[in-house]
Amino acid sequence: MRLGIVGTGRASSRTVRDETRAADAVRRPARCRTGSRRSRPRVGAHTLRSRPAVPPLTTRGWLAGLVGSLVVLALVLGVIAAVPAAASPASSPSPSSDRPLWSLPESGDLLSAFSRNDYDEQDGSPQQVTSPDDPARQAVQFTVPGGAQRSEMRPRVPDQTEGTTQYYTYVAKLPDEFPAEVDTWQLLLQWHQYGDSGSPPVAVEIRDNRLMLAAEGGDLQDLGPVAAGDRIDLTMRIAFSRDPDQGSVDVWRDGSPVLQGYRPPSGTLLDGGNYMKVGLYRDTSVSETGRVWLEDLRVGSSLASVQSSISASNRIPSESDPANNPSAPGGGSSTETLTWVAAGLLVVVAALAVLSLRRRRTHG
C-alpha cells in the first residue's frame, strides 16, 4: 500500500515539473544559433505612429527654394550672355577704331583703290577728274549714257558678313543736268548679296527728286529731297544680319539723323554676305545721260573712323550713334538684353534674401 502511494506522488511531482518547464519555455525569448537573443519588433498601430512625419513647407523654406532657383537662373543667363561675346570675333580688323578700314585717296591713282571688272563697267568706265567743288582735290566720275545701265566699282574692303557692323561716309556731286526727277530707280550705293539674282538688301537711290533707302528694291525709306546740281553728304551705320531683328540701318544726312534703327523686312543680309558697290546703276528706261562725281568715300568700324574734313560727318554727336546709346532704335543686342535680365534676377534674389532675414529675426 505504501508503494502505491509513493509511486503516485512521484508521478504527480514529475508532471508538475514538466508543466512548469513548458510554461517557462513559452515565456523565455527564443535564442539564435549564436546564443544571442533575437528580438522581433511588434508590428502594429504603435509602430506606425512612431514613424517621423514629413514637416510641412514653411515660408522660410519656400523663400530659400525660390532664392536658390533664381540664383541658378541668373548664373545660366550670365553664362549664355558671356559665351557669344567671348566666342565671336572682333567686328573690325583695324588696330584702331578711329582709323578707317578704307578711304578714297586724296591724290595719286584713285582708281587703284577699287576692284574693277568688265561687268561693272559695261556701260562706261569710271574716270579720275578734278573735283567740281574743289580744284585742289581729285574725284571719280561715273557716266551712264541714256538707255544704258551701269558704271560701278567695288571698294577694296572686307565683305560684310553676319554680325559685323560698318560705318560709311559718302560725298558726291550731281551735275546740273542730272535727271533726278525720273520716276524710277537710279542707285548710287548698294550692298549686294553674293547671289547674282534679285535686288540688294540695302541700297541708296534717287527717284522722283527724293533720296531713298531701298530694301530689295522696295520698302523705300525717304532720306529727303534731292535735285540736279545738289551735293549729297551721307553717313551710314549698317549692322549686317540675316535676322530682321538684328540687321539695322542708321543714316545721317548733312550731319543730321534722317533714318534711325530701320530694320529691313528680310534683314541686311540675304545669304552668306554682301559686297559693296559705288557708282551709278539705273533703269534702262532713263533716256538722259547720268553723271555722278564721287568726292569722298570712307569705310570704318566706328563713327569716328569715317569722319571727313569735307563732309558734315564730323558734326555728328557721338550720343546719336546707336553703339553709344543702347536705348536708341537699333542699339543694343540680344546679349546685352540677357545681361540686363541676369542683373535684374540678382536684384530680386538680394531683395528676397533681405526679406527672409527680416522674417527670421522677427520669429527668432
CA pair distance 205, 329, nearest whole angstrom: 23
**DSSP 8-state assignment for residue 78:** H
pLDDT at position 5, please? 43
**DSSP 8-state assignment for residue 60:** H
Q: What is the pTM of this model?
A: 0.67
Provide CB contacts within 8 A for 177, sequence distance 6+: 228, 288, 289, 291
CA pair distance 27, 332, nearest whole angstrom: 87
* C-alpha cell read off for 360: 527670421
Q: How many residues does the chain have?
A: 364
- Secondary-structure breakdown of the chain: helix, strand, coil percentages, each rounded to the nearest 5: 30, 30, 40
pLDDT tens string, the chain, 364 residues long: the values are 444 444 444 445 555 465 556 555 555 555 544 444 444 555 554 444 555 555 555 665 666 666 666 666 767 566 555 544 444 443 444 445 789 999 999 989 999 999 999 999 999 999 999 999 999 999 999 999 999 999 999 999 999 999 999 999 999 999 999 999 999 999 999 999 999 888 999 999 999 999 999 999 999 999 999 999 999 999 999 999 999 999 999 999 999 999 999 999 999 999 999 999 999 999 999 999 999 999 999 999 999 999 999 999 999 998 999 988 765 555 554 445 555 555 666 666 677 666 666 666 666 5
CA pair distance 44, 156, nearest whole angstrom: 91
pLDDT at position 364, please? 57
Fold of 92-332: Jelly Rolls (2.60.120)
Using DSSP's 3-state secondary structure scheme, residue 329 falls into coil
CA pair distance 360, 277, nearest whole angstrom: 69
φ and ψ at residue 291, rounded to 5 degrees: -140, 140
CA pair distance 313, 293, nearest whole angstrom: 19
H/E element, 115: strand 114-115
* C-alpha cell read off for 108: 595719286
pLDDT at position 98, please? 84
CB distance 314 to 203 below 8 Å: no
Q: For the beta carbon of residue 285, count every other beta carbon within 10 angstroms.
A: 11
CB distance 124 to 144 below 8 Å: yes
- HSE value, Cβ hemisphere, 13 Å, CA-based, for 320: 20
Beta pairing class for 150-155 and 218-225: unpaired
pLDDT at position 196, please? 87
**C-alpha distances out from residue 148 to 95, 143, 186, 287, 290, Å:** 42, 10, 12, 8, 9
**C-alpha distances out from residue 355 to 264, 280, 352, Å:** 47, 67, 5
CB distance 168 to 235 below 8 Å: yes
